[in-house]
């Protein structure tokens, strides 16, 4: 069976801007895959190309083994800001969406009721009176009306309050193993919580992909991270660290640095010593495993 | 239901549930009723405004004057209303994000455009048909024995012009914002007006501009070529709108 999504050297140019720059990725079936990246990285453009809303300048995109337009019967989609006709009610919109998929009326009615109940929208008010969060939940419901093989969500939780966000994440997590979910987000905690796999994009390219564990491991190697907050100029410290055999990386932060160490014992002894030798004041010294934030910051870099 | 009937039903429901239901039908009804009244009492109105010394120059009003009011209203007011109510049909859905949610489902953009055309045309046809019926009823009250034929012919020919302008404005709406779509609709109308100045232009779609007034006054005119070429241009503009919308990125 072909993968749910496969892009090869996908490029999209808008004037002088390369929104996608040879983006190649594969999304396996029945996985929940997070598309991560900073603003302007190309996440939404990638999704738009997959949905046939934008045409690639070059490269290919195949969805569910076919071209993007032919696959629509099996795709559910929620844009970052879903637009609904304000004069319809939520059940009417789901009926409209279901009919566009050619579903029998009995199926539409059954699924609509179940989905609206699932997302907590059992109101007969017109959509024009809905809050942003309610619209987002209706967006999820309409994206599932056709029981899609592939669910594409663009920033699905960005407009939601913490409880609404939790509900949507639970709903996505419940699809695990049944539907392929590809969702873009810049909320790393959301991605970490529900995703089987992550694809990190930056400047229109895939810069890393894998499971959260794989990405963490790749970030720290066999090493451990040390968070440092200190006072004084960082130049001397970085210079001295580069001469230390146990130090496999050092990234400066606004208040200090994150040091990657291959030899934890040596690092525990040498880091405070190096600071003291450099005449710098130690404010905080913390040993920890690499987080998804570290992976992201390492790959994407400071903005 | 097919994708087309689903979209058409939605577009018709939109007309009924939004401001669109009030603008054209209400305006048409008001104009239809007031036209024959204005024609009947034009002399009295003129006299009350101090023009009594010129009354002798005015002939007694007839049904021709009542129908002339109707055809003038069609040409001078309702033509522009048709362009305005069509302008946001596609561009409004693109702006509001509803087009994206709709067109990521298994429905073609051509179907989307054609449904918009049919829904808008239905609104115009029903409104103008109702307006013509009201004009006839109102005219019959003040000018008993008024024939229905000239009114029907004039309204039908104007209806073809309206279809052409709906298609032109939809083309604008498929490519530009609502403002741009109005510009395209008005541009096509102005273009037809300019072409009508050329010799032999009466057989082209531009012939549709002058025909309603002529037919409404009871005169005979050759309508076949303007209608055929007008409908041909409508199909061409609609096809162009579909092609343009298919190429547009959303």
pLDDT in tens, B26-51: 999 999 999 999 988 887 877 777 66
| Residues A76/A140, Cβ–Cβ less than 8 Å | no
Number of domains in chain A: 2
Task: Mutation target for A interface from B95, B100, B104, B119: give the one with most A CBs within 10 A.
Answer: B104
Residue A121 and residue A250 in one domain: no
Q: Which of A210, A228, A256 is at the close of a domain?
A: A210
Domain that holds residue A259: 219-300
For A84, the closest of B1, B14, B98 (CB atoms) is B98
CATH at A262: 3.30.70
Residue A97 and residue A241 in one domain: no
Q: Which of A210, A232, A249 is at the close of a domain?
A: A210
Whether residues A55 and B98 touch (CB distance < 8 A) is answered with no
| Residues A36/A201, Cβ–Cβ less than 8 Å | yes
Q: Which of A210, A239, A261 is at the close of a domain?
A: A210
Residue A128 and residue A92 in one domain: yes
The average confidence (pLDDT) of chain B is: 93
pLDDT score recorded for residue A221: 67
pLDDT band at B208 (very low <50, low <70, confident <90, very high): very high
pLDDT score recorded for residue B54: 66
Residue A155 and residue A190 in one domain: yes
Residue A227 and residue A276 in one domain: yes
ipTM: 0.90
Q: Which pLDDT tens digits describe chain A residue by residue (303 residues)?
A: 899 999 999 999 999 999 999 999 999 999 999 999 998 899 999 999 999 999 999 999 999 999 988 899 999 999 999 999 999 999 999 999 999 999 999 999 999 999 999 988 988 899 999 998 899 999 999 999 999 999 999 999 887 888 888 888 998 999 988 899 999 998 888 998 899 999 999 999 999 999 988 888 777 665 788 899 998 888 888 888 888 999 988 888 888 888 888 888 999 999 999 888 888 888 999 988 878 888 888 888 765
- Residue with token string 């049904």: B63
pLDDT score recorded for residue A276: 87
Residue A191 and residue A241 in one domain: no
Residue A179 and residue A281 in one domain: no
What CA–CA distance (Å, rounded) separates B188 from A49?
34
The answer to whether residue A142 neighbours chain B at the CB level (below 8 Å) is yes
pLDDT score recorded for residue A258: 87
Contact partners, residue A123, CB within 8 Å, separation at least 6: A89, A90
Residue A116 and residue A9 in one domain: yes
CATH at A177: 3.40.50.300
What stretches of chain A adopt beta strand conformation (E)?
A: 5-14, 17-27, 32-36, 58-63, 75-78, 150-154, 180-185, 197-202, 205-210, 224-231, 247-253, 256-261, 281-288
Residue A75 and residue A156 in one domain: yes
The answer to whether residue B103 neighbours chain A at the CB level (below 8 Å) is yes
- Residue with token string 């309603």: B212
What CA–CA distance (Å, rounded) separates A114 from A74?
19
Top-confidence residue, B185 or A273: B185
pLDDT score recorded for residue A142: 96
Residue A196 and residue A224 in one domain: no
Top-confidence residue, B182 or A174: B182
Residue A11 and residue A143 in one domain: yes
Residue A206 and residue A232 in one domain: no
The answer to whether residue B22 neighbours chain A at the CB level (below 8 Å) is no
């Amino acid at each position: 069976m072909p993968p749910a999504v496969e892009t090869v050297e996908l490029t999209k140019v808008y004037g002088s801007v390369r929104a996608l720059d040879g983006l190649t990725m594969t999304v396996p079936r029945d996985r929940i895959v997070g598309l991560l990246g900073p603003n302007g990285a190309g996440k939404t453009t990638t999704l738009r190309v997959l949905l046939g809303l934008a045409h690639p300048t070059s490269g290919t995109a195949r969805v569910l083994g076919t071209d993007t337009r032919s696959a629509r019967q099996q795709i559910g989609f929620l844009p970052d800001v879903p637009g609904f006709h304000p004069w319809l009610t939520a059940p009417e919109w789901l009926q409209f969406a279901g009919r566009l998929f050619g579903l029998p009326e009995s199926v539409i009615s059954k699924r609509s009721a179940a989905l609206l109940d699932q997302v907590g929208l059992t109101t007969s008010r017109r959509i024009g009176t809905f809050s942003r969060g309610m619209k987002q939940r209706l967006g999820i419901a309409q994206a599932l009306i056709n029981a899609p093989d592939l669910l594409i969500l663009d920033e699905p939780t960005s407009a939601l309050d913490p409880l609404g966000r939790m509900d949507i994440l639970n709903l996505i997590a419940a699809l695990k193993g049944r539907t392929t979910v590809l969702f873009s987000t810049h909320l790393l905690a959301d991605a970490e919580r529900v995703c089987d796999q992550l694809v990190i994009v930056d400047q229109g390219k895939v810069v890393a992909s894998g499971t959260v564990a794989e990405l963490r491991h790749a970030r720290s190697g066999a090493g451990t991270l040390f968070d440092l907050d200190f006072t004084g100029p960082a130049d001397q410290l970085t210079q001295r660290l580069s001469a230390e055999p146990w130090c496999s990386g050092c990234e400066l932060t606004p208040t200090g640095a994150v040091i990657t160490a291959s030899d934890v014992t040596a690092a525990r002894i040498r880091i405070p010593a190096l600071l003291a030798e450099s005449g710098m004041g130690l404010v905080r010294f913390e040993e920890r495993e690499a987080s998804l934030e570290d992976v992201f910051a390492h790959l994407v870099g400071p903005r | 239901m097919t994708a087309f009937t689903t979209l058409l039903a939605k577009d018709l429901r939109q007309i009924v549930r939004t401001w669109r239901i009030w603008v054209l039908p209400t305006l048409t009804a008001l104009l239809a009723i007031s036209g024959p009244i204005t024609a009947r009492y034009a002399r009295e109105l003129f006299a009350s405004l101090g023009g009594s010394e010129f009354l002798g120059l005015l002939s007694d009003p007839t049904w021709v004057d009542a129908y002339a009011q109707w055809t003038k209203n069609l040409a001078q007011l309702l033509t522009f209303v048709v362009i305005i109510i069509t302008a946001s049909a596609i561009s409004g859905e693109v702006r509001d994000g509803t087009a994206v949610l709709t067109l990521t489902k298994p429905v073609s953009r051509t179907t989307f455009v054609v449904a918009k055309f049919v829904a808008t045309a239905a609104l115009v046809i029903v409104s103008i048909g109702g307006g013509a019926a009201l004009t006839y009823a109102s005219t019959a009250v003040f000018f008993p024995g008024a024939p229905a034929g000239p009114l029907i012919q004039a309204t039908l020919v104007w209806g073809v012009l309206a279809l052409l302008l709906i298609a032109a404005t939809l083309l604008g709406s498929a490519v530009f914002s609502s403002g741009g779509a109005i510009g395209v609709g008005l541009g096509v109308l102005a273009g037809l007006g300019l072409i009508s100045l050329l010799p032999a232009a009466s057989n082209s779609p531009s012939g549709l501009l002058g025909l309603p007034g002529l037919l409404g006054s009871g005169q005979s005119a050759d309508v076949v070529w303007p209608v055929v070429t007008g409908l041909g241009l409508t199909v061409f503009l609609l096809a162009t709108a579909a092609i343009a919308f298919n190429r547009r990125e959303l």
